Amino acid sequence: MLAVESRGLTKRFGSQTVVNGVDLRVPTGSVYGFLGPNGSGKTTTIRMLLGLVQPTSGSRSLLGYPVRTGAGDALPRVGALVEGPAFHPYLSGRANLARLDAADRRSDPRSASRRIDAALDRVGLLAAAAKRYRAYSLGMRQRLAIAGALLQPRDLLVLDEPTNGLDPQGTREVRHLVESLASDGATVLVSSHLLSEVEQICTHLGVMSDGRLVAQGTASELRGGGVATVRVTSSQPREAAAVLSRLGVQEVVEGPTQVHGLLGSVQPEVIVAALVHAGVGVAGFAVTTPSLEDLFVGLTGEGFDVSG
């Protein structure tokens, strides 16, 4: 069962193709990290999924409903934050949420006050509920927008850069919020520039580049696609290099005090045993796998804002 699915999703503006044949598959119950450089087509894809922009071609569905014909059934079960919040600056945070809730014809006015306070409390804004929106910081505005998406129970949350403008504490709070939403059974699709945060919370990843989805799968599958590197620190680098080459380690490089190569299918414990058996002194031994940043740069060829 897929919470979000698209097939051949394409969007052209004149002669420019900004999203090109995207086949998105977001499993129900997952936390799906949607990554890509600025201008890669992430936000346009999200807007098409939510019915805010019509695709040039292709299809998309939310919670099993085709967006083209079943948006009325799917969207009430979807909460979204896309391209930043927009509220009335002269109203308080609570009053803004009250107007947003009143505009939802499916909401129950009898429970509005309770639900608004619960949403504010969940994003840490209950103490600032009476403050006017124009006095909110950028981070507080982001959190109020997330609260707006939580006024009703949601099966799917779509969050476009939810940590934009948040300080480290606020970023951690949003991370814990996403984790709690997922533990409650919601599916979360989160677009983010913070690779360290995505790495901690996401079960699945999709990487966009130049309008195309260049990689998709579980986080472990995508990171496992990279080759692990073995590094040996020794006062006998030549002998260590010979042992690694004999065992089948690829691209062995010998330095003054270190030797490294691509591990491949060779087991680390076999290497350690062979080095000891050959009388090679081992001062240090490490196996490293590619980070999410390494994966991203390898797929897109571009840098990324990893520090936020």
Ordered by start, the domain boundaries in the chain are: 2-224, 229-288
pLDDT of residue 302: 60
Mean pLDDT of 275-285: 94
Over residues 160-197, the pLDDT tens digits come to 888 877 778 878 888 888 888 888 889 999 998 777 77
Sole residue written with tokens 């130049």: 210
What average pLDDT is seen over the chain?
89
Least reliable range by pLDDT among 142-156, 158-172, 198-212: 158-172
Interatomic CA distance for residues 232 and 247, integer angstroms: 14
Three-class HEC string of 44-103: HHHHHHCCCCCCCEEEEEECCEEHHHHHHHHHHHEEEECCCCCCCCCCEHHHHHHHHHHC
Least reliable range by pLDDT among 46-55, 146-155, 219-228: 219-228
User: Class assignment of domain 2-224?
Assistant: alpha beta
Residue 150 pLDDT greater than 50, yes or no: yes
pLDDT higher at 148 or 139: 148
Q: Distances from the Cα of 266 to the Cαs of 40, 148, 229, 239, 280, in angstroms?
A: 37, 52, 11, 18, 18
Residue 256 pLDDT greater than 80, yes or no: yes
pLDDT of residue 84: 72
Question: Of the CATH numbers 3.40.50, 1.10.287, 3.40.140, 3.30.70, which one belongs to the domain with range 229-288?
Answer: 3.30.70
pLDDT higher at 147 or 288: 147
Residue 3 pLDDT greater than 60, yes or no: yes
The string of DSSP letters for 186-236 reads: -EEEEE-S-HHHHHHH-SEEEEEETTEEEEEEEHHHHHHTSPPEEEEE-S-
Residue 66 pLDDT greater than 90, yes or no: yes
Specify the 3-state DSSP secondary structure of 132.
strand
Answer left, alpha or beta for residue 83, where phi above 0 means left and psi between -120 and 50 means alpha: left
Residue 308 pLDDT greater than 60, yes or no: no
pLDDT of residue 306: 38
Percent of all residues in the chain with a pLDDT value above 90, rounded to a whole number: 61
Over residues 19-49, the pLDDT tens digits come to 999 999 999 999 999 988 888 899 999 999 9
Residue 68 phi/psi, 5° resolution? -65, -35
Residue 303 pLDDT greater than 60, yes or no: no
The neighbour count for residue 153, using CB atoms within 10 Å, is 12
Over residues 85-137, the pLDDT tens digits come to 789 999 999 999 999 999 988 889 999 999 999 999 988 899 999 999 999 98
pLDDT of residue 171: 81
